[in-house]
Amino acid sequence: MTAGLLSLGARELTSGIVALQEGRIVYVRSTLSGSEDVVIPLHIGPANGQIIFGHTFLVPAETPMEPAQMAAAKWPFQPAGACVIRHWATALRDFDLGYMGFIQSSPLHAGENSRLLSCIPKTLPFSSGGRDYDFRVIQDLSTPPSEPLIFSVDRGNVADAAKLPDRFIQILSEGKKQVGFVMGYSLLKGLTKPEVRAANTGSPVFIYATGKTYPAAIDRNARPVKEGDTFDCLAYRQYFDPLSHPEATTVYRHNQDGDEMLYAEFHRRAKKAVLPFPKDLWGKKFGVVEKTDSVEIAAVGKIPSGGVPLEVRGVGGSVVLRVPCD
């Protein structure tokens, strides 16, 4: 993509990063369409009042543009390839919201012999395009869906309307080699806290026919947005080693505004599992942000030497732990 500036009434995009100025809008040109009128807004939406982050749509060059929203984002990187993304936005006038999805991802791909596996906790089984899907377990998405997969409470494939799916996991497998990728929204910060997101989001995620995943932090359920409304979202994305833990499908850890967070997903029973923490966190206080009823934690208060022991009953479960900053 080529970054540039589209002035009012102008047809050309000027190459190069430029400062946002009054009466002008920063865009990037879409390489997915042959039309020169297809652009992606980065900071400010069009005058029709629709703000749809991350989506292409037609904007005739002669269309008047008015500022609707000012946004900023930080992408700090952490060890092990983790990136915790912070977004802030303020509405400069009233508008109807399409959706804000502050993270998205194309499917992992390594070659013809690779398999793409996906897991989205807090979902329910469903059928679409003649195929049955169950993202609670490891769903094979090596063949992309024939039609977009839309998750929503109304469609019956979200387990709990008060706790929407918040993490989206991919595992790429090629023989004995595996690599994992996860993106998700904070359970503790900003507009993706469960009670806030549930009140403002009707469809928490959809997977397009290309296999690209589009999580929504907030959508049209929040309309209309009023002048002066502010948005604060914390999201994350990172790679992980699916083979690093002998009993868990995923274990990954990163820091959110000083709090150390650990996420784990299990897809089988585990009698004596241990969630690892580095030595500098042994003896630190920890808390349970959320867990399934099938997970029983065998430690309270402080992290024992080596990590937090637990048992997973039945066919699996999940847990999110937090080590608060001092």
Specify burial of residue 129 (Cβ count, 10 A radius: 0-12, 13-18, 19+).
Answer: exposed
- Verify that 61 and 166 share a domain, yes or no: no
In a shared domain, residues 188 and 259? no
177 with 112, same domain: the answer is yes
Shared domain check, 84 and 26: no
**CATH number, position 284:** 2.60.40.1180
Check if the beta carbon of residue 310 is closer than 8 Å to that of residue 275.
yes
Could you give the number of structural domains in the chain?
A: 3
Expressed as residue numbers, the domain containing 44 is 1-66
**Which of residues 243, 261, 281 is at a domain's end?**
243
Instruction: Answer for the pair 122, 290: CB distance below 8 angstroms, yes or no.
Output: no
SS3 295: strand
Q: Please give the Cα distance from 232 to 86 (Å, whole number).
A: 7
Does residue 125 sit in the same domain as residue 89?
A: yes
3-state SS assignment for residue 79: helix
Indicate the pTM of the whole model: 0.80
One domain, residues 12 and 115? no
235 and 285 share one domain: no
DSSP type of residue 80: G
Q: Do residue 187 and residue 49 come from a single domain? A: no
Same domain, 138 and 233: yes
| 141 shares its domain with 163 | yes
The three-state secondary structure class of 120 is: coil
The residue from 243, 263, 282 where one domain ends is 243
Q: What is the distance between the alpha carbons of residues 135 and 324, in angstroms, rounded to a whole number?
A: 31
Which pLDDT tens digit goes with each residue over 266-298?
Answer: 999 999 999 999 999 999 999 999 999 999 999
**Are 255 and 229 in a shared domain?**
no
Computed from CA positions of residues 185, 186, 190, 191, in that sequence, does the dihedral angle turn out positive or negative?
positive
Per-residue pLDDT of the chain (326 residues; tens, 9 = 90+): 222 222 222 223 333 333 333 333 333 333 333 333 333 333 333 333 333 333 333 344 445 556 677 777 888 889 878 999 998 888 888 888 888 888 999 998 877 788 999 999 999 999 999 999 999 999 999 998 999 999 999 999 999 999 999 999 999 998 888 999 999 999 999 999 999 999 999 999 999 999 999 999 999 898 788 889 888 999 999 999 999 998 999 999 999 999 999 999 999 999 999 999 999 999 999 999 999 999 999 999 999 999 999 999 999 999 999 999 87
140-199 pLDDT tens trace: 999 989 999 999 999 999 999 999 999 999 999 988 889 999 999 999 999 999 999 999
- Among 221, 224, 230, residue whose Cα is nearest residue 69: 230
